[in-house]
Amino acid sequence: MPLLARALAILAVVVAHQTFWPVYGGAAAMMVLLGMSVAQDRARFLAEGDAAGFLAPLGRVLVPYGLVLAGYALVWQQVPWASVALIGNFAVTVPETHLMLPYLYWFVEAYVQICLLLVLLFRPAPMRRWLSGSPFGTGLALLAAGALLRVTLPELWPLPAGRRPAPRAPPPRSRRRRRPRRRTVPPWCRPGPGPAPAPAR
């Protein structure tokens, strides 16, 4: 079932990027699957403080990512430094500058960043004991912290691709009544004084 869910999530992301079909939720599903993978297969490395064992699966992702980076660098004749440093998803630049890969590679950068954050978060011994004693409670706490950051962080650090204020509607134009223009009649076209009135008898 997780394998099918991964395939469907990747398919949803590809369809959303390459077509105009309203297919959403692929990236969110991939994040959920990432969390499930960490909880099922790699949580014990965090609890034991084994950073090398926890980060070992990153090699299966970073090796093909490095090949993609090398290909773009050869074609562009320029090294995309933002993607090499895995910070392209922070909107430090745009792909048109050739300093980062196209946007569709953002998940690799986010994946590596999340893994590094988890290693740093559970490096202190009290955090590791908390994870060992209550893995479900730890997961709920991380979920609540992530939801809080999702709501507050875009307000503190707005990215170009993030939420933008709604554009203001232009003020309505006031309709003024136009005064009718007076037609100027040339003197030779003006009517004369008319016949004199008849004398009274």
Average pLDDT, the chain: 82
Closest CA to 30 of 44, 14, 46, 19: 14
DSSP letters spanning 126-189 = HHHHHHHH-HHHHHHHHHHHHHHHHHHHHHHS--TTS--PPPPPPPPPP-PPPPPPPPPPPGGG
Report the half-sphere exposure of 110 (CA within 13 A, side-chain side). 14
Share of the chain above pLDDT 90, in %: 37
**pLDDT for 50:** 93
Whether 121 shows a pLDDT value over 80: the answer reads: yes
Return phi, psi of residue 176, to 5°.
-100, 140
Stronger pLDDT, 160 or 13, i.e. the higher one: 13
Whether 163 shows a pLDDT value over 50: the answer reads: no
Closest CA to 69 of 59, 81, 54, 87: 81
Q: Where are the domains of the chain?
A: 2-137
Mean pLDDT of the 108-114 span: 93
pLDDT tens-digit readout, 66-109: 999 999 999 999 999 999 999 988 888 888 899 999 887 888 99
| The pair of three-digit structure tokens given for residue 75, joined into one six-digit string | 């074609």
**What is the C-alpha separation between 110 and 30, in angstroms, rounded?**
11
Band of residue 186 on the pLDDT scale cut at 50, 70, 90: low
Whether 184 shows a pLDDT value over 70: the answer reads: no
**pLDDT for 93:** 87
Query: Full-prediction pTM beyond 0.75?
Result: no
DSSP 94: -
pLDDT tens-digit readout, 16-62: 877 888 888 888 888 888 888 888 889 999 999 999 999 999 999 99
DSSP 24: -
